[in-house]
């Protein structure tokens, strides 16, 4: 339907591919001039007197338009050569480029390999960098990505399995983080100061339970809602919680956030330079890297627990009910499934993992503020779930590594300054590229990286269900 009416494709007598590509490229270039022109050719900026003035950047817009022209030209040429009649949409044509066997390799070989890599990663980094640079690689890449993997796996229960579109997942992350921060900085010092070193291990389950409770609380009113409406209401809830955290300063200290949150201990042994600290206890030289490595293994365990539990639940009646709910809610009710409880369980369990992750986040940062829990975080987590392929743990993990790791890598591209000049900071393009990647991946593979579904039980043989049959849920 799309290509049939497209002026670019449906030409009665196609000219030579090159002429056609040139024409399409020219059209694209004109459009690009219009789209990018105002904002790229002119830049508003403050002058010495702090007044707004307009600067011109004609060179930049010329480069961009030329790039669009060249890109579109090559793309048209490439695709006309592939398929002269130019059939399906761009996305479908692009996915033809993906190797056929990749999906099977991903499913069978990747999980064990990834697991091994996960456990040796800090050691590998340590030996490669010799300690000094290791902190950044373990923390920014390892821990950072794993937090997102865990969050995405938690949200996957709600969105991927139960088909309930949740755009406010970050609220539960915030509940977990604030639960840990407030209990560890206010409640424990006031009641049982001796338990200080155990704070993280006491608060972790509490944070999870609190988040699950909030999951039920916020899940209850939205039970009847479907699809985009559910997404918007959950977005509203997420924003309300963030705005309350900002404005209710007596409770949360507002924008200032909560600092000096106690860091986790090695099961009672703190990571400090004292005689009872981790390094002294184990006869090592003190280094902050031990805590980072410990945190890394904590989040690895938390993420693996999330994966294990959700995988297990999927094969239990409740998990089947979630998936059935995603497929057809009315049929579920006709089979005696209590859809209210089923949905609330999904919300609660998803929220619980969000709470665990939040509490870990607070412990890792030592400081939290409402800035960390914006809508953008929810969008990023949801994007990871959808890009990975809803319901697929492997796909989700791949998406998290690609999206978070990929954008994080931009911080490492300092050599680009040599090309683009001293003011060029690749990191500020992080979210721009993230957004572009979201759009591109959706157009390329609308059902995500791993779109097939593995059955939870079989009579003779387990065969993957293709994405064409799997529904995405109405809620």
Partner 1 sequence: MSEAILTVEHLTMRFGGLLAVNDLSFEARRGDITAVIGPNGAGKTTVFNCITGFYKPTQGRITMRHADGRTHLLERLADFRIAQEAKVARTFQNIRLFSGMTVLENLLVAQHNPLMSASGWSIGGILGLPAYGRAERRAIEKAAYWLDKCGLTDRADDPAGDLPYGPQRALEIARAMCTEPELLCLDEPAAGLNPRESLVLNDLLRFIRKEHGTSLLLIEHDMSVVMEISDHVVVLDYGIKISDGTPPEVREDPKVIAAYLGVDDSEVEKVEAEVGL
Partner 2 sequence: MEVFFQQLINGVTLGSIYGLIAIGYTMVFGIIGMVNFSHGDVFMVSTFIALIALMILTTWIGVGSILIALLIVLIVAMIFTSLVSWTIERVAYRPLRGSFRLAPLISAIGMSIVLSNFVQVSQGPRNKAIDPILNHVFVLSAAGGYQVTLSYKQILIVVVTAILLAIFWWVVAKTPLGRAQRACEQDRKMAALLGVDVDRTISITFVMGAALAAVAGTLYLVYYGVVNFHDGFTPGVKAFTAAVLGGIGSLPGAVLGGLLIGLIEVFWSAYFSVEYKDVAAFSILAIVLIFMPQGILGRPDVEKV
Nearer to partner 1, 253 or 310 (CB): 310
Tell whether residue 326 is a contact of partner 2 (CB under 8 A): no
CA angle, 408 as apex, 148 and 264 as ends, to 5°? 50
Nearer to partner 2, 72 or 364 (CB): 72
Closest distance to partner 2 from the beta carbon of 435 (Å): 3
Q: CB under 5 to 8 A by kind: which of partner 2, partner 1, none does 311 bind? A: none
Closest distance to partner 2 from the beta carbon of 191 (Å): 31
Q: Is 455 exposed, middle or buried (0-12, 13-18, 19+ CB in 10 A)?
A: middle
392-414: string of b/e by CB count within 10 Å (b at 16+)?
bbbbbbbbbbbbbeebbebeeee
Contacts (CB under 8 A) with partner 2, residues 353-392: 375-376, 379, 382-383, 386-387, 390
Nearer to partner 2, 55 or 104 (CB): 55
Nearer to partner 1, 415 or 458 (CB): 458
Binding site for partner 1 (CB under 8 A): 309, 312-313, 316-318, 320-321, 323-324, 326-328, 330-339, 345, 453, 455-463, 465-466, 468-471
Tell whether residue 71 is a contact of partner 2 (CB under 8 A): no
What is the size of the binding site for partner 2 (CB under 8 A)? 66
Tell whether residue 90 is a contact of partner 2 (CB under 8 A): yes
Tell whether residue 37 is a contact of partner 2 (CB under 8 A): yes
* Residue selected from 437, 454, 455, 456 as contacting partner 2 according to rule CB under 8 A: 437
The span from the CA of 444 to the CA of 340, in Å, is 36
* Residue selected from 157, 184, 204, 222 as contacting partner 2 according to rule CB under 8 A: 222
Closest distance to partner 1 from the beta carbon of 353 (Å): 14
Encoded tokens for 352: 């619980």
Tell whether residue 419 is a contact of partner 2 (CB under 8 A): no
Q: CB under 5 to 8 A by kind: which of partner 1, partner 2, none does 469 bind? A: partner 1
The span from the CA of 351 to the CA of 213, in Å, is 8
Tell whether residue 228 is a contact of partner 2 (CB under 8 A): yes
N- to C-terminal Cα separation, the chain: 27
- Which is nearest to 17 in space by CA: 90, 77, 82, 69? 77
The span from the CA of 47 to the CA of 127, in Å, is 50
Nearer to partner 1, 320 or 364 (CB): 320
Closest distance to partner 2 from the beta carbon of 344 (Å): 15
Nearer to partner 1, 250 or 457 (CB): 457
Tell whether residue 227 is a contact of partner 2 (CB under 8 A): yes
Q: CB under 5 to 8 A by kind: which of partner 1, partner 2, none does 338 bind? A: partner 1
Residues that bind partner 2 (CB under 8 A): 1-2, 5-6, 31, 34-35, 37-40, 42-46, 52-54, 89-91, 165, 221-222, 224-225, 227-229, 231-233, 235-237, 239-240, 243-244, 247, 330, 375-376, 379, 382-383, 386-387, 390, 428-429, 431-432, 434-439, 442-443, 446-447, 467, 472
């Amino acid at each position: 339907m799309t290509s049939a009416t497209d002026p670019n494709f449906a030409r009665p007598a196609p000219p030579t591919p090159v002429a056609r590509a040139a024409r399409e490229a020219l059209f694209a270039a004109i459009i690009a001039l219009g789209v990018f022109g105002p904002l790229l050719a002119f830049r508003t900026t403050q002058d010495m007197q702090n007044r707004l003035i307009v600067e011109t950047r004609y060179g930049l817009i010329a480069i961009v338009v030329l790039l669009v022209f060249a890109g579109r030209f090559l793309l048209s040429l490439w695709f006309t050569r592939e398929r002269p009649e130019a059939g399906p949409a761009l996305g479908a044509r692009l996915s033809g480029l993906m190797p056929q066997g990749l999906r099977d390799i991903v499913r069978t070989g990747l999980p064990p390999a990834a697991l091994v890599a996960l456990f040796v990663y800090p050691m590998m980094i340590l030996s490669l960098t010799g300690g000094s640079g290791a902190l950044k690689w373990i923390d920014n890449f390892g821990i950072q990505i794993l937090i997102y993997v865990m969050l995405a796996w938690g949200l996957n229960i709600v969105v991927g399995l139960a088909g309930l579109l949740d755009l406010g997942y970050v609220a539960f992350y915030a509940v977990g983080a604030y639960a840990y921060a407030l209990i560890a900085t206010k409640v424990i010092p006031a009641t049982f100061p001796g338990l200080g070193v155990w704070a993280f291990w006491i608060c972790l389950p509490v944070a999870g339970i609190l988040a699950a409770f909030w999951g039920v609380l916020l899940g209850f009113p939205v039970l009847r809602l479907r699809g985009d409406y559910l997404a918007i209401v959950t977005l509203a809830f997420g924003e309300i919680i963030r705005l309350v955290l900002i404005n209710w300063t007596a409770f949360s200290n507002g924008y200032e956030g909560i600092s000096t949150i106690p860091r986790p201990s090695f099961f009672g042994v703190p990571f400090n330079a004292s005689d009872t600290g981790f390094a002294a206890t184990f006869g090592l030289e003190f280094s902050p890297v031990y805590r980072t490595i410990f945190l890394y293994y904590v989040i690895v365990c938390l993420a693996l627990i999330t994966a294990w539990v959700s995988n297990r639940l999927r094969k239990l009646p409740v998990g089947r009910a979630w998936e059935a709910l995603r497929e057809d809610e009315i049929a579920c009710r006709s089979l005696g499934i209590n859809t209210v409880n089923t949905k609330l369980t999904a919300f609660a369990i998803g929220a619980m993992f969000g709470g665990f992750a939040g509490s870990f986040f607070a412990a890792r940062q030592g400081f939290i503020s409402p800035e960390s829990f914006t809508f953008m975080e929810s969008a990023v987590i949801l994007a990871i779930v959808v890009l990975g392929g809803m319901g697929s743990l492997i796909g989700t993990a791949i998406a998290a590594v690609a999206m978070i790791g990929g954008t994080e890598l931009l911080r490492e591209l300092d050599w680009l300054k040599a090309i683009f000049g001293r003011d060029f900071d690749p990191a500020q393009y992080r979210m721009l590229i993230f957004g572009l990647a979201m759009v591109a991946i959706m157009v390329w593979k609308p059902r995500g990286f791993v779109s097939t579904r593995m059955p939870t039980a079989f009579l003779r043989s387990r065969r993957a269900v293709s994405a064409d049959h799997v529904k995405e849920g109405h809620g």
